[in-house]
Amino acid sequence: MADAPIRPDQPELRPSTLAVTAGRPAHEPDQPLNTPLTMASTYVAGGDLEYGRYGNPTWAAFEEALGGLEGGRCLSFSSGLAAAATVLDLAGLGTRVVAPRHAYNGTVMQLADLEARGRVTATLVDVTDTDALLKACEDAALVWLESPTNPALEVIDLEPVIEAAHAAGAYVAVDNTFATPLLQRPLDLGADLVVHSATKYLSGHADVMLGAIVTRDDELYGVLKGRRDLVGAVPGTLEAWLALRGLRTLHLRVERAQANAQELVRRLAGHPAVGEVRYPGFGAMVAIVLTQGAMAADLLTHKTRLWVHATSLGGVASTFERRRRWKSEAATIPEALVRMSVGVEDVEDLWDDLRSALDDLT
């Protein structure tokens, strides 16, 4: 008798096991261990798929796995920003959207574009002021949250904010890209929607562009899928397959990268070139503010051998950048802030490389 397939809704399966097992074919003779690539734009009529814009078995496998990890139903998209745009589109004409003033640059730019076209009113809030954040929720249609925020690494107490938003009748979406479902599950805290740039930690190897939304609300799921089908913001089959393969090692990569980050934070705090270290206490994202200003921060990102000067994050390789090099970054982000995505290399090599570059600045 063939083994029963492992389902992601089985409560006894822990997150690391789900990451490895969810979305695989049934345990039957001659079935492949991994979900294969289904390269098809058209299907024989009479079933659920019909056409390549409506679904794909390879997408479905990734969606099953991520949905299991977040505790909801998942839809994959062509990019994290495509997923974000689909969520922001839930806000009706003339309504208000609340978001952190320090949030992913692409999300803030989308909100600015929507406001400039008269679609919504965007209110960007200092999320370190909990009272101001709660008050801002009072007449919102959609509250968009990040915790930790990007790139300031501020942490939000999600539950009271979600409760306040729901009391006002607003939807709540949480961008969980930095934390991943291994460290935080916003749906368990009451959020309506979880958004991911799967380009980052979920795929984990800097070779995929993919986004995702997860929800437990079947009606919302239907609305979002209908929107994805209509505008065609669908993932590529190869990208979904690569993201699922990357997801299989998410727990190992997060564990190693987080351990590296925590050790580097401890050492960075004592270096004279570093005026401030920002770390939320979990995950592998760190930010430092250099004492000698923006030029020193730019110099640092060009002086290392292992650390790569790059704008993305969440991969196995350690990357960093001065965020204010982007003109669209919030003016409240310090000029000398360097956002660091700590990878899975040996921490001693990472520190030797970083320390040498920092020493040259003092």
Could you list the active site residues?
A: 53, 104, 175, 200
| CA–CA dist 274, 323 (Å, integer) | 16
H or E segment and range at residue 223: helix 218-231
d(CA 123, CA 138) in angstroms, rounded, equals: 12
Q: DSSP code of 312? A: -
The C-alpha atoms of residue 139 and residue 117 are separated, in whole angstroms, by 20
Helices H / strands E in the chain, number of each = 12, 12
User: Is it true that the peptide bond before 36 is cis, omega within 30 degrees of 0?
Assistant: no
288 strand-pairing partners: 277, 338
Q: Which of 110, 39, 51 is nearest to 230 (CA)?
A: 51
Question: Three-state secondary structure along 105-128?
Answer: HHHHHHHHHHHHCCCEEEEEECCC
107 close to 150: Cβ distance less than 8 angstroms: no
Helix (H, G, I), strand (E, B) or coil at 352: helix
Distance of alpha carbon 272 from alpha carbon 269, whole angstroms: 8
Q: Determine the residue type at 147.
A: S
Q: Are 108 and 149 in contact (CB under 8 A)?
A: no
Question: How far is the C-alpha of 261 from the C-alpha of 138, rounded, in Å?
Answer: 37
